[in-house]
A and B are shown apart, each in its own frame.
Chain A
Amino acid sequence: MTPLQVEIITQALGVLLTLENMVFIAIGVTFGMLAGSIPGFTGTNTVAIALPFTLPMTPEIALVTLSAIYIGANYGGAIPAVLINTPGTAGATATVLDAYPMSQKGQASKALGISISASVIGGMISAVIILFMLQPIGEVAFLFSNREIFVLGIFGLTAVAVAIGDNIRKGLVAGFIGLLIAAMPVDPTTGQRRLDFGFFGLYDSVPFVPVVVGLFAISELFYLINKTAISEDNSVTTTYRDIFEGVRYAITRPFAVVRSMGIGLLIGSMPGAGTSVANFVSWGAAKSTSDDPDSFGEGNPDGVIASEASNSAVTAGSLVPTLALGIPGSGTTAVMLAALLLHGLRPGPQLMQEFTLEANVIILSLLVANVFLLIAALAVSKYLVRVVTMPANLIVPAILALTVIGAFAMRSSMFDVWLMFLFGIIGFVMRENGYSLIPLILGIILGPIIEGSFLRSMLVSGNDPLYFFGSSIAILLWVLTVLALFIQPISNVIRGVIANRTDYLN
């Protein structure tokens, strides 16, 4: 570790370790855990709803609070996975495989204890690793000029469209519609109006917070309203003694925790790869290296460790492409990207140059949030079966009221509230037709940055389009973009040829 790195981390700790931040971290973790434990209500939705609440906060407190909510929501998903056989978030899908069978064997408390400790240990170690990686990432970021930022934006959209969802073209359509929506306000160089439909609310920029809240939270309500109760089963009993036995079990298996954490960190740091991928890969790795692979899926505690340690490491890992490149590693980090913009931090390579301290504060806050998670989870997990069985017809109106006032709070404008609801309907139509929401939101958030880089590059080059191929980094990014576009079709063709050959040989 270099002296500069030590100095920045010390400064970041000074900013982070205030009473105010600690209170907001505690509130954030608890709120995230409660919301994340509601099945069907993801960490992304939770952070999206909380986004307008952070408006009056300073950037540091806001980002620390949202990171804490992210950590809490990520863990919260494990609670219904253990108690009612329903993952609260996509990241807890593999947790169900062993945690619920444990619950059925009367080991619900032990499964909760394992999930808490594996999540906390995995989350803390991964945060420390990312902290040490920030400076090298920042040094690479210095190599990016406007030209590279433009190509990086195109690559980011492509990578996310390829990694998320089944259909690359649908992902790209969503991403480019996002870019077009972002280009609707005034021309950034001349100030001439482009396409604002006469709404002053769209005059200088598209308000992305109502868009984010609408796409993620409101669209979810159209599904949630159709559920009467998420689960009627609240008969599970838990004890603190058994929860602590679970904690002890995970602590005595450091290799399993570290291996799962490593997988989560690696997969999380790939743009577009999410927690659901990481926890299944980690669970599969644990099963294949186990002496007793057949017990996985039947209530093996090591399966819970594999899933939970990896999904909490994804939280830290997915912040790497988000902070360093402006490419979100997951839906939740797409919302975090919006939070950065909301609080004046421009995402992309410049973030690591201009806001090194803030980036360090965010990563350190993950570390502190995990400590609070340990305390909060041990204290209240036992009682959360009441929350996960809460009727949907109470949750939906409460979320509607909170999102309406949240969207209004941004600019005291009813236009933003209507815009939020419109994007809720758009989000529902997209989800019903297999379009991922993340490329659309990424296009809207990154649009002004990509357009600004494009215009400045054209100005520098005298409108020469070949300028975008004029550096080794830009060429590398174009090659990666083409590879990302064609890797899936090529692999499909290869798989088809292999399948045909196999059929022929058989």
Chain B
Amino acid sequence: MTSTEADNAATNRPTPSTSAVALFRLAFPLAGLVLAVLYIDSTYGRIRLNNLYYPYFVIGVLGALTLSVFATDLRQLVDHEGEQSFVDSIREAAIQWKRSIGFTIVAIAYLWLIEPIGFFLATAVGMVGVMLVGGRRDPVWISISTLIILVFVYVMFVQIMGLRPPRGPLGL
């Protein structure tokens, strides 16, 4: 049982749909299988077989293990009685993890901004965004803590370690 499912059970919320649970629970091993298929597609017939014994041994073991995990998970999913529709389940999960999702969006925007506007400006924007997502609203508190972190990063990485992070049009 995942922590989300445990929370649902503990709070007597309606159980999420089987397809939503399957989508999340099987995501990691499925990603491993997709990677294995792409690997074979990219190497088979192009690299001589003697050099592929090792990666194909890894893929063989991974395939067998993944199928075994799938079998166990699918058996549990057959017994799972979902009370919500797929869309409702996703909506509820989104509400439960809204801060984590907000953090992901802000972090992606922050990383994307680093090259066009420079590391320090992007970090200032990113930090303010993450603090807002985290529920902090006090502008003085946000400004001071952002400034302290930026000064620390500048002294530690630029002055002491001699690093040159990406610079934007303002040279920051």
Binding site for B on A (CB under 8 A): 53, 55-56, 167, 169-170, 172-174, 176-177, 179-181, 183-184, 187, 189-190, 192, 194-195, 221-223, 225-226, 228, 391-394, 396-398, 400-402, 404-405, 408-409, 412, 414, 417-418, 421, 425-426, 428-430, 432-435, 451, 454-455, 458, 463
| Given contacts A173-B69, A405-B163, A433-B25, A180 and B99 within 8 Å (CB-CB) | no
| Contact (Cβ within 8 A) A434 B2 | yes
Chain A residues whose C-beta falls within 8 Å of the C-beta of B133 in the assembled complex: 225
Say if the beta carbon of B165 comes within 8 Å of chain A: yes
How far does the alpha carbon of A53 sit from the alpha carbon of B4 in the complex, in Å? 35
| Contact (Cβ within 8 A) B162 A56 | yes
| Contact (Cβ within 8 A) B131 A435 | no
Q: Which of A56, A189, A397 has most B Cβ within 10 Å?
A: A397
Interface of A is mostly: helix
A221 to chain B, nearest CB (A): 7
How far does the alpha carbon of A426 sit from the alpha carbon of B104 in the complex, in Å? 12
CB closest chain-A residue, reference B162: A56
How far does the alpha carbon of A398 sit from the alpha carbon of B99 in the complex, in Å? 17
CB closest chain-A residue, reference B130: A397
Chain B residues whose C-beta falls within 8 Å of the C-beta of A398 in the assembled complex: 127, 145, 149
Indicate which residue in A177, A189, A194, A195 contacts B32 across the interface (CB closer than 8 Å): A177
- Which range contains the number of B residues in contact with the other chain? 35 or more
Binding site for A on B (CB under 8 A): 2-4, 24-25, 27-29, 31-32, 35-36, 38-39, 42-43, 46-48, 50-51, 53-55, 57-59, 61-62, 65-66, 68-69, 72, 97, 99-100, 102-104, 107-108, 110-111, 114-115, 119, 123, 126-127, 130-131, 133-136, 145-146, 149-150, 153, 156-157, 161-166
B22 to chain A, nearest CB (A): 11
Selected A-B contacts with CB under 8 Å, 13 pairs: A173-B32, A177-B31, A180-B32, A180-B39, A187-B47, A187-B51, A225-B102, A397-B127, A405-B157, A414-B166, A417-B114, A430-B28, A455-B51
How far does the alpha carbon of A421 sit from the alpha carbon of B114 in the complex, in Å? 14
- Counted as pairs of residues, one from A and one from B, with CB atoms less than 8 Å apart, the total is 179
| Contact (Cβ within 8 A) A433 B24 | yes
Indicate which residue in A173, A225, A421 contacts B130 across the interface (CB closer than 8 Å): A225
| Contact (Cβ within 8 A) B100 A225 | yes
Chain B residues whose C-beta falls within 8 Å of the C-beta of A221 in the assembled complex: 103
How far does the alpha carbon of A405 sit from the alpha carbon of B28 in the complex, in Å? 28
| Contact (Cβ within 8 A) A433 B162 | no
